[in-house]
């Protein structure tokens, strides 16, 4: 029976909630582990009690010694599973309604400074790979794209005349994101080099291609960003999500409102966007020095 419940749950996440493959895989794996725990303890998952859930939480924390973030993820998956069972009327009461997940310390996203961004975007790229990487940085910073959205971006999804890109986010949700003229110019310059390099060759329709004319992989993007960061003397390691964080932080610092930023980032929940409202400590220190009577 457990296998049927798990399969139905995965189908619910995939087709009804339209979550991404990675999310479905993660939730499915965590629920599968929970069902195996039920089976090992000879418990029917449709008849468990809050006490049994407390026992499971203890198993994760004290026996398996999982990190709070891992315990949180697994318990959230179990909660989601029982909400599904309640909707499907397989159970009458939700045993997880009083289950408390561990509180996690809120991590403030790191970001690059404007000076570091200027250094990266003014890097004297010469090879096709370097030109492609600087263009990737420009686009990540201009639109706050996820790396999956970037590598799957197709030529028809970019409009440099009107200044926007069509991104396909988690669960296949699409959104239009405006990009500024300088990003449009950078993309046009890269596409001209790309076309000349792959002239008379049958290549993919994605914007960013590898040396063989196929869609670039996320691993290649990570490696290229890391390499360019070292060449540009950026102290912290570069990765795609760092530019998404930088885009969001710099937009808010420039006066953008949270709702607009939420739309541009493709966040389903405004709470996710609010993490970027953290204080810029360096700016705060400057203001303190300027305005405090003691200087």
Find the catalytic residue in 241, 278, 288, 289. 241
Q: Are 15 and 55 in contact (CB under 8 A)?
A: no
Q: Are 13 and 59 in contact (CB under 8 A)?
A: no
Find the catalytic residue in 170, 175, 197, 239. 170
The answer to whether residue 37 is catalytic is: no
46: DSSP letter: G
Q: Are 129 and 224 in contact (CB under 8 A)?
A: yes
Q: Are 135 and 248 in contact (CB under 8 A)?
A: no
DSSP codes, 101-132: PPP-PPPPPP---HHHHHHHHT----SHHHHH
The answer to whether residue 170 is catalytic is: yes
Q: Are 147 and 118 in contact (CB under 8 A)?
A: no
The residues that bridge with 166 in the sheet, in sequence order, are 176
Structure tokens given for 88: 């499907």
Question: Burial letters for 116-128: b for 16+ Cβ neighbours within 10 Å, e otherwise?
Answer: bbeebbebebeeb
Find the catalytic residue in 132, 146, 186, 194. 146
Find, among 72, 69, 106, the residue nearest to 277 by Cα.
106
> The tokens 């994760």 sit on which residue?
60
Q: How far is CA 203 from CA 27, 149, 154, 223, in A?
A: 36, 19, 12, 22
The answer to whether residue 267 is catalytic is: yes
Q: What are phi and psi of 175, to 5 degrees?
A: -150, 145
The answer to whether residue 61 is catalytic is: no
Q: Are 276 and 109 in contact (CB under 8 A)?
A: yes
The answer to whether residue 79 is catalytic is: no
Structure tokens given for 247: 């885009």
Considering just the CA atoms, what is the radius of gyration of the chain in Å? 23
Active site residues: 146, 170, 241, 244, 267, 276
């Amino acid at each position: 029976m457990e296998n049927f419940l798990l399969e139905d749950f995965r189908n619910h996440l995939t087709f009804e909630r339209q979550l991404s493959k990675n999310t479905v895989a993660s939730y499915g794996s965590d629920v599968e582990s929970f069902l195996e725990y039920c089976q090992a303890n000879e418990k029917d998952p449709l008849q468990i009690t809050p006490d049994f859930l407390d026992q499971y939480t203890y198993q994760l924390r004290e026996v398996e010694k999982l990190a709070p973030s891992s315990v949180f993820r697994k318990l959230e998956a179990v909660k989601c599973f029982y909400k599904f069972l309640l909707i499907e009327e397989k159970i009458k009461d939700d045993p997880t309604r009083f289950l408390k997940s561990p509180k996690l310390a809120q991590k403030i996203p790191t970001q690059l400074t404007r000076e570091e961004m200027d250094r990266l975007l003014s890097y004297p790229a010469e090879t096709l790979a370097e030109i492609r990487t600087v263009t990737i940085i420009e686009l990540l910073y201009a639109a706050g794209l996820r790396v999956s959205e970037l590598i799957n971006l197709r030529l028809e999804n970019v409009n440099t005349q009107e200044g926007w890109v069509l991104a396909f986010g988690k669960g296949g949700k699409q959104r239009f994101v405006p990009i500024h003229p300088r990003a449009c110019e950078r993309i046009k310059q890269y596409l001209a080099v790309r076309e000349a390099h792959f002239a008379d060759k049958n290549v993919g329709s994605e914007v960013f291609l590898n040396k063989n004319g196929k869609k670039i992989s996320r691993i290649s993007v990570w490696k290229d960003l890391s390499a360019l960061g070292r060449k540009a003397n950026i102290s912290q390691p570069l990765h795609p999500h760092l530019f998404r964080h930088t885009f969001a932080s710099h937009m808010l610092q420039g006066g953008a409102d949270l709702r607009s930023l939420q739309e541009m980032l493709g966040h389903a929940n405004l709470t996710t966007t609010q993490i970027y409202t953290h204080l810029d400590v360096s700016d705060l220190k400057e203001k303190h020095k300027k305005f405090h009577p003691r200087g």
